[in-house]
Structure 1
């Protein structure tokens, strides 16, 4: 069966839209519309740019463009074909812009997520640094694309031949790939060190490292795209195909932390169905020696939590991420707790009569 670029780019876009739809459904299910954050806004932008890029790739491939032209072949193009090639070349030029916008908005999704996860931690400063770095690499990539062929109209010029810097754009693949990978490496350096130091079980720690370290696949895809596009520079279907593949891989990796809760719940329900009993609510206790900020959001996991302070009691729902306890319901409620077991023991031992002890009541029922 012959390879079809059109079939690939549209099928990958369709699958990617399913991934984003699952992401938005999961966020709505566990956080509600009011719980949406900036990473969801970046996700909307990413969807928009991905659609625009796919349309541009399809149309520039259908209309033709100046990528494969040379000095001799450009002069041999019939005048009647020039307007069509100009339109296709303009679309190819726009496809680069949509590609840059889309890839860096996906980075914005992760950075906003990391900013929430590191709220109140020292690592949040590094998140801010990476936000600045991401903006700078984005601007550098965009400006390189625009200024590497100046005046801009030469990017879609047919006669006379404008030169390889305006048609094949070989250095685009190198410069933008380097900036892309460097930014991804810096972003991966945010969660991995914290997870390795976190007070988690080995199994949980490995699963989270694999989840947040999956950005390595995006970097591999970006490098392969640049390599094959340069090696087969005369076949523009290679570059167009790899652009779509990279976008799909990046979309899956970026949305994985957000859609994980719904799969975790599904797995939990399956386990409960095969179990002889059913736990209606989780178990556990938590203690801390400082005040707790109340959280009354209806979309958070609300447990019947009794808080004892001094000689009086009061019961109130709290957002558990505010006390350093991670919730499986949604990544917006997660909080990476880097305290060691020794620190936890020390904290528990120092709780006096004026301390605050958070306990959770549980009800067990058998089907």
Structure 2
């Protein structure tokens, strides 16, 4: 399992980091180094959380386990070495959850900042502002849940006796994170939706908008599948694949609009096919 995860995750991350680098280059080329805007700097911070997520999940996949006890297991009979190894795995789990939460919300912030520049109509601009507040409240709610649902805090990596289920599998956090994550993503899709449906341009020029919209739907789908796999069986570790896919495609969606001009210039035929899009 862990070798397949390692191959897929680092491949997806390499593409994501390359897109962030291309985005930064494209923005500097367009605006100059001193002209970079808030979302450009926020995107650079996403690198830290993105790498933390991928490295953390790979470390978890290769660990000896976490605080989650196997049914029927006598945790008091575990050797000191096994206890320490599983405590390490439990700490990596917390790190990976922090990384995932922050990379997703950092990317949301980037998109909202970009939307705030592009929505000139008063109604749309107000919607983006309200959505920004809602998204910020969601991040705070997730962080409070993550730090308060398991008390005392070090019970997150307590092995014997087994701690409360919230400490072992983050039940409450998963519900709060899922609610705010999916609802804010759905709301964010409503911002460019009128452009996809109503803009009066040839279909070829609409295709890039359709691709972005479809990728946004995939991010939501990945978030749903992650939680479905998790709630169906807390011992099923395949949710890690969907965590990484969700984070990676979110990185792609957030950066593609900024690197699209570079693609049109660099790839023969793209400019003529899509026209001035």
What band does the TM-score fall into relative to the shorter chain? 0.7 to 0.9
Partner of 1:185: 186
Partner of 1:44: 44
Partner of 1:147: 148
Partner of 2:13: 13
How many Å apart are 1:204 and its aligned residue?
Answer: 6.4
Partner of 1:241: 241
**Secondary structure, aligned partner of 1:90:** helix
**Secondary structure, aligned partner of 1:4:** helix
Question: 2: distance between equivalents of 1:2 and 1:155?
Answer: 23
How many Å apart are 1:271 and its aligned residue?
Answer: 6.4
Question: 2: distance between equivalents of 1:77 and 1:31?
Answer: 59
1:270-349 aligned within 5 A? none
- Structure ranking higher in helix proportion: 2
Contact 1:16–1:248 under 8 Å retained in 2: yes
**Secondary structure, aligned partner of 1:30:** helix
1:220-235 aligned within 5 A? 220-235=221-236
Contact 2:2–2:58 under 8 Å retained in 1: no
1:65-104 aligned within 5 A? 65-70=65-70, 72-104=73-105
How many Å apart are 1:177 and its aligned residue?
Answer: 1.6
**Secondary structure, aligned partner of 2:62:** helix
How many Å apart are 1:155 and its aligned residue?
Answer: 0.6
Contact 1:86–1:157 under 8 Å retained in 2: yes
Question: 2: distance between equivalents of 1:16 and 1:208?
Answer: 18
* TM-score, reference length from structure 2: 0.87
**Secondary structure, aligned partner of 1:72:** coil
- Structure ranking higher in strand proportion: 1
User: Given the alignment of the two structures, is residue 115 of structure 1 paired with residue 116 of structure 2, yes or no?
Assistant: yes
Partner of 1:213: 213
Which is worse superposed, 263-272 or 145-154?
263-272
**Secondary structure, aligned partner of 2:159:** coil
Question: 2: distance between equivalents of 1:120 and 1:31?
Answer: 24
How many Å apart are 1:66 and its aligned residue?
Answer: 2.1
After the TM superposition, which segments of 4 or more aligned residues of structure 1 sit over 6 Å from their partners?
268-272
How many Å apart are 1:212 and its aligned residue?
Answer: 4.7
Contact 1:221–1:249 under 8 Å retained in 2: no
- Deviation by residue 1:304-327 (Cα, 9 ceiling, x = unmatched): xxxxxxxxxxxxxxxxxxxxxxx8
Question: 2: distance between equivalents of 1:39 and 1:138?
Answer: 17
1:151-166 aligned within 5 A? 151-166=152-167
Question: 2: distance between equivalents of 1:247 and 1:190?
Answer: 21
Question: 2: distance between equivalents of 1:216 and 1:192?
Answer: 12
Query: Which protein is bigger by CA-based radius of gyration?
Result: 1
| Residue-pair matches, total | 273
Question: 2: distance between equivalents of 1:31 and 1:184?
Answer: 29
Q: Gaps spanning 5+ residues in structure 1: where? A: 273-326, 329-367
Identify if the C-alpha distance between structure 1 residues 211 and 29 changes in structure 2 by more than 3 Å, giving closer, same or farther. Answer: farther
- Deviation by residue 1:242-272 (Cα, 9 ceiling, x = unmatched): 2111111111111121111112233577767
User: Given the alignment of the two structures, is residue 62 of structure 1 paired with residue 62 of structure 2, yes or no?
Assistant: yes
How many Å apart are 1:105 and its aligned residue?
Answer: 0.3
Partner of 1:299: none
